[in-house]
Amino acid sequence: MSVRRAGLPVAVTMRHNAHYVEEIISRSGAAIGRMIPIEQLQPNLDQPRKDVGDLRGLTDSVKEKGVLEPLLVRYLPESEKYMIISGERRYHAARAAGLREVPCIEKDADDAEALELALVENLQRKDLTPFEEADGVQALGDRFGLTHEEIAQKVGKSRSSVTEVLSLRTIPDAVKAYCIELGVLSKSQLLQVARQPSEVKMRDVARRFALGMVNREQARAERNPEKKARPAIFRYVPPTKDFKLMLRFRKNSIEKEDIIQALKRILEQLEAET
């Protein structure tokens, strides 16, 4: 009897350990892990990640230990080469390190599936900025018509996390550039920026975050100021319950003496009318 692995994902995860390989094989029966000459690989022109970033650290690691995580590729009969679905940074680092071949997992995928896998893999990177993550989530949802819940399942996040990160796309481009310039790039800070009612407020909160003049809790409190205090109310019901008395004061805090003075004025007015 086969044993289901704990945590087996509904969608294909992009961390290529034995667990991942078994999932690929169980779906298509055609996934093959093997070494492929680096000259037979070609980058994906539709790869959602356009900037591979600084590769110096990864290149040094590849020189010392090799490529530890296989690239995911698909075969293109027309060019007799393998297009990279995920693993572009490892590919470029391997070339820079002078490797002649790299470990790959071959996947039989059409254009749409290859793009989906690339988008999902891109979103599971740990070095994404919140803005990059928001753009990737939006692209995945738009391209494949996915709900927030479906996106969450594919990328291994909660639905609320997906909804939150998408809210960052409401930040105008000019404010995004301002936040990047100031170094305000933590997701918690940017969420508070996004929740401000105007671009002016967004810029102000970002500036104060950068200067250390406000923290996340203070920004949240400013966005949601406490409701205006309710007026104080005094209620009285006698044991006989034959009447009820309610006094509503304009101020929100009263003392016993305030109640006594109010009752005295009522009595004085009633006595004057008799």
Q: What percent of the chain has pLDDT over 70?
A: 81
Q: Are residues 165 and 178 in the same domain?
A: no
Domain stops at, among 96, 120, 144: 120
- Is the pLDDT confidence value at 30 over 80? no
Which range of residues forms the domain containing residue 251? 233-273
Top pLDDT among 126 and 148 is at 148
Domain stops at, among 226, 246, 261: 226
Q: Are residues 150 and 189 in the same domain?
A: no
Q: Are residues 153 and 238 in the same domain?
A: no
Q: Are residues 201 and 248 in the same domain?
A: no
Q: What is the pLDDT of residue 6?
A: 35
The amino acid that residue 100 corresponds to is R
User: Is residue 254 in some structural domain?
Assistant: yes
Q: Are residues 42 and 97 in the same domain?
A: yes
- Is the pLDDT confidence value at 270 over 90? no
pLDDT digits (tens, 9 = 90+) for 220-248: 666 655 555 678 889 898 888 899 999 99
Backbone angles phi, psi at 207, to 5 degrees: -60, -45
Q: Are residues 26 and 115 in the same domain?
A: yes
- Is the pLDDT confidence value at 25 over 50? no
pLDDT digits (tens, 9 = 90+) for 61-97: 999 999 988 999 999 998 899 999 888 889 999 999 9
User: Is residue 2 in some structural domain?
Assistant: no
Q: Are residues 22 and 115 in the same domain?
A: yes
Q: Are residues 156 and 94 in the same domain?
A: no
101, 36 Cβ separation under 8 angstroms: yes
Q: Are residues 110 and 56 in the same domain?
A: yes
User: What is the edge-to-edge ordering of all strands in the sheet holding 71-76?
Assistant: 32-37, 101-106, 71-76, 81-86, 41-42
Would the CA dihedral through 93, 96, 97, 99 be positive or negative? positive
Domain stops at, among 95, 120, 145: 120
Q: What is the pLDDT of residue 47?
A: 64
Q: Are residues 26 and 47 in the same domain?
A: yes
216, 192 Cβ separation under 8 angstroms: yes
CATH number for the domain spanning 74: value is 3.90.1530.10
The amino acid that residue 137 corresponds to is V
User: Is residue 160 in some structural domain?
Assistant: yes
pLDDT digits (tens, 9 = 90+) for 244-257: 999 999 888 888 89
User: Is residue 57 in some structural domain?
Assistant: yes
Q: Are residues 34 and 67 in the same domain?
A: yes
pLDDT digits (tens, 9 = 90+) for 108-142: 888 788 878 877 877 777 677 899 889 888 988 88
Provide the domain count of the chain. 4
User: Is residue 12 in some structural domain?
Assistant: no
What are the residue numbers of the active site? 88
Within 10 angstroms of residue 247's Cβ, the number of other Cβ atoms is 15
Q: Are residues 47 and 101 in the same domain?
A: yes
Q: What is the pLDDT of residue 131?
A: 92
User: Is residue 182 in some structural domain?
Assistant: yes
